[in-house]
């Protein structure tokens, strides 16, 4: 019983962390919006860097969410 509660709590912590990282991938700061919206010759390095950062945060968030769900699901099968 205690083990289930602990696993569920750990899973929820992973889920909250994952959702936070996943959300951060899509939230833009005012400065970032201004840098991305600026027209530049050749390519916009700011857009490239933001896309790389967003992808990393999205992947980290997804991995944490999946881990959290698996930990919570394992709590239901362990007795």
Per-residue model confidence as pLDDT tens digits over 61-78: 999 999 999 999 998 888
Model-wide pTM > 0.85: no
The pLDDT confidence band at residue 79, using thresholds 50, 70 and 90, is: low
Q: What is the pLDDT of residues 11-37, one digit of tens each?
A: 999 999 999 988 887 777 777 777 777
State phi, psi for 44 to the nearest 5 degrees: -95, 105
Alpha-helical segments (H) within 1-79: 2-24, 30-37, 45-77
The continuous run of DSSP H or E covering 78 comes out as: none
User: Domain residue spans in the chain?
Assistant: 2-77
Closest alpha carbon to 65 in 26, 27, 13: 13
Q: How far apart are CA 5 and CA 17, in angstroms?
A: 18
| 3 in Cβ contact with 75 (< 8 Å) | yes
């Amino acid at each position: 019983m205690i083990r289930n509660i602990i696993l569920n709590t750990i899973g929820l912590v992973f889920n909250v962390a994952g959702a936070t990282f996943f959300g951060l991938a899509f939230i833009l700061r005012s400065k970032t919006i201004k840098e991305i919206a600026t027209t530049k010759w050749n390519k916009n390095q700011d857009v490239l860097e933001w896309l790389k950062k967003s992808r990393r945060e999205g992947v980290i968030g997804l991995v944490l969410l999946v881990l959290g769900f698996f930990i919570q699901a394992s709590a239901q099968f362990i007795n």
